[in-house]
Amino acid sequence: MRKNRIILFGFILVIVLVLGYLWMSGKSSEPEKSNVSSSQVIDEAYQLIKKEAVFSKNEKLLVEGAIRGMAEALEDPHSSYLTKEEAETQESSLAEERVGIGVEIMNSGGKFIVVAPIKDSPAYKAGLKPQDEIVRVNSERVDGKTMAELVRLLSGDKGSSLKMTIYRPSENRHVELHMKRETIALHTVSSEVLEVDGKSLGIVTISIFGEKTAEEWEKQTKALVERGINGLVVDVRGNPGGYLFSVSSIIGTLLQNGSTFAYMQDAKGVLETLNTVNKDNPYLNKLPVVLLQNGGSASASEVLAGALKDNNRAMIVGETSFGKGTVQETHPLSNGGKLKISTHKWLTPKQQWIHHKGIEADLKVEQDELFNTDIKYYHGEFHQGDYGDEIKYVQQILSGLGYNISRKDGYFDEATVEAIDKYREQNKLEINSKLDETFFQDLTNTINEYKARKENDQQLQMGVSYIIHSLNK
């Protein structure tokens, strides 16, 4: 395959931090110039619009509309036309850190669909999930808007609040989410050591596959090996993708030199084999490995999962991944814009195309209800006898925390009062039997603390148990 700009992503919005910029290996290719036999009809339509149309005849907008229409006619959510401004936004999104909410979004048939929130980002904490459709940002509907317009709606100062209305197909309902914009640093790899039953396990989390991810991975995993870890857990939950060279380098530390980790298939069906290339034997090759994934694990994360699964190198724990099996190339256009089109499929080592299917976990584990709770930033004051979504939310959380809640429909009854009073007493808050700003904030802190405790992460616990069992055989 020629060395040009090859990507797998929805749209990069680091300002909303998007980061699905999966696959790059060089510079963008220049489009080949050729005549299209039917181009005359385009010229005819253009001239008729310029001459006869009573509405706007802006030449730039007409041309961009034609290009965008051709991209949309492909019926591929990952193929698109980027205006000069959108292209510049994409390029600027690669900064070390940006203020935003942290989510990858794609435009599918005019709908803005969430690919994945970045782990621990504001969008992630608020409960935004893969496949959610963005309907409103604050009070403004997003249908009919361009990606650049959506970026502007999602942009804002650090600490500023954002309300988003989404449609969740899995639940067939609309959900209102509240989040605050934060600084999102692109440090893509973190690690720690977990001591369990006399064994040391390395836990490595990869948020995205960026330019320096492979370097970060090597540094941190070698440090873990030096500490004498007995097993490795790789966490790519909520990881929307990244660069091919990054994920291939990481795979190269886990598989033997020359191992097939994926295939590229062009439009003619021709397959190209992608193999690992290492100077030395993988330094992690003797460690048992578990990979954690969920529905937000996409693109490069799926390449990693597929490579490890098909080579029998790791146990995949969690949920079925997102299911993105196409490769895009970007081409600069003379107007400053870019055309991004899907040019290849990528296949697993067993030549499976996972598009719209995802990679199934070997051990399927769902998180408990409280761990999966969407954090909502509610305001206002509520008393016994009131009714509303804010009260329903509190009832659900308190029930998940073990408080005696008789109803969870949003009606502020006596049992809810008693639960609130008990919560206030246990958390050293003023006892006043009401919901207010102080209560909502403390409840948010409690949920975050609950999610931060590893014993509540059932997917991680299952992965750890599997490794311990393997070591004790």
Residues with active-site annotation: 299, 324, 328
Per-residue b or e along 195-206, where b marks 16 or more CB atoms closer than 10 Å to that residue's CB: ebeeeebbbbbb
Per-residue b or e along 15-42, where b marks 16 or more CB atoms closer than 10 Å to that residue's CB: bbbbbbbbbbeeebbeeeeeeeeeeeee
d(CA 420, CA 398): 8
Tokens of 81: 């036309």
d(CA 446, CA 444): 5
Where in 348-390 does DSSP place strands (E)? 363-364
d(CA 340, CA 6): 9
d(CA 94, CA 104): 13
Tokens of 48: 């008729």
Report the relative pairing of strands 6-7 and 326-332 from DSSP bridges: antiparallel
Distant-in-sequence, close-in-space partners of 344: CB < 8 Å, separation ≥ 6: 1, 6, 264, 265, 266, 267, 326, 327
Where in 79-230 does DSSP place strands (E)? 80-82, 97-100, 103-108, 111-117, 133-137, 140-141, 161-168, 173-180, 182-185, 189-196, 199-206
Contact 71, 341 (CB under 8 A): yes
The distance between the two most distant Cα atoms of the chain, rounded to a whole number of Å, is 80
For 69, the 3-state DSSP assignment is: helix
**CB-hemisphere CA count at 13 Å for 124?**
24
Where in 138-188 does DSSP place strands (E)? 140-141, 161-168, 173-180, 182-185
Among 247, 262, 434, 447, CA closest to 367: 447
Beta-bridged to residue 182, according to DSSP, are: 100
Contact 276, 255 (CB under 8 A): yes
